[in-house]
Homo-oligomer: A and B are copies of this chain.
Amino acid sequence: MTRRAVVLLSGGLDSATVAAMVRADGFELNALTFDYGQHHDIEIAASREVAAAQGAVRHVVVPIDLRAFGGSALTDDIPVPKGRSEADMAGDIPVTYVPARNTIFLSLGLAWAEVLGTGDIFIGVNVRDYSGYPDCRGEYLAAFGAMANLATRGAVEGTLPVTLHSPLIDMTKGEIIALGTRLGVDYGLTRSCYDPDPVGRACGACDACALRLKGFAEAGFPDPAP
């Protein structure tokens, strides 16, 4: 049987690249997206296009309304910061931090993986360009993996040990885009902006846009997304 992979797919460029890597490695792609009350919900539509383009066998969009708790500019009425330099971004944890977001997403990925009979879970975090989020760091991911291997029936019984893959963690945005391009990723389908306009065009000034534009500049070609 083809090995199954659960890939957390946001609709952005990192997770689209991970989906392509997983397919290139021969895994069956099972894509998992969260509708968590984010303002930038065009990324959910983008995730559907990316999942289809990458040949996902399953794509589940789980509604989990984190607005029940509040606490982030991505879900609350707090302004998204604009025009920050890389030095600004490196300095602190930004207001776009969503409390425990990756822990919640990985937990749901863990549940789905067990139901699908696999322990291979992929997340497209990277810390090389942006180290502001605590739950994107390698030591956090290692601790999640250790916990996961005590959490599920499959892991405890030894049939489905959990492996948490973060293949992009040490790559720059430019390296990620170059790799994905070699693997045929259509980055025109992806969306990264935290604060798009009403017709879905990127603002060009938030942290996510700044990093994306820097990545395409490094890779040496223009961003195909609107």
Contact = CB atoms under 8 A, between A and B. Distances in A.
Interface of A: 60, 62-66, 68-71, 93, 97-104, 106-108, 110-112, 114-115, 134-135, 137, 139-140, 143-144, 146-148, 150-153, 155-157
Contact of A150 (B63, B108, B111, B139): B139
A147 B151 contact: no
A103 B144 CA distance: 10
Given A114-B71, A115-B99, A155 B143 contact: no
A99 B115 CA distance: 7
B147 A134 contact: no
Contact of A104 (B101, B108, B155): B108
Given A103-B110, A140-B147, 18 more contacts: A60-B68, A60-B69, A64-B64, A68-B112, A69-B108, A99-B110, A99-B112, A100-B110, A100-B148, A103-B107, A103-B148, A104-B107, A104-B108, A134-B150, A134-B153, A135-B150, A143-B147, A143-B151
A115 B101 CA distance: 12
A100 to B, nearest CB: 4
Given A63-B65, A71-B115, A114-B71, A103 B151 contact: yes
Contacts of A108: 69, 100, 104
Among A60, A97, A100, A144, chain B packs the most CB atoms within 10 A around the CB of: A100
14 contacts: A60-B68, A62-B65, A63-B63, A64-B64, A69-B111, A69-B112, A93-B153, A98-B111, A101-B111, A102-B151, A104-B111, A143-B151, A146-B146, A147-B147
Contacts of A103: 107, 110-111, 147-148, 151
A135 B151 contact: yes
Contact of A100 (B99, B107, B134, B146): B107
Contacts of A65: 62-63
Given A115-B70, A144-B147, A99 B134 contact: no
Contacts of A146: 143, 146-147
A63 B140 CA distance: 27
A101 B111 CA distance: 7
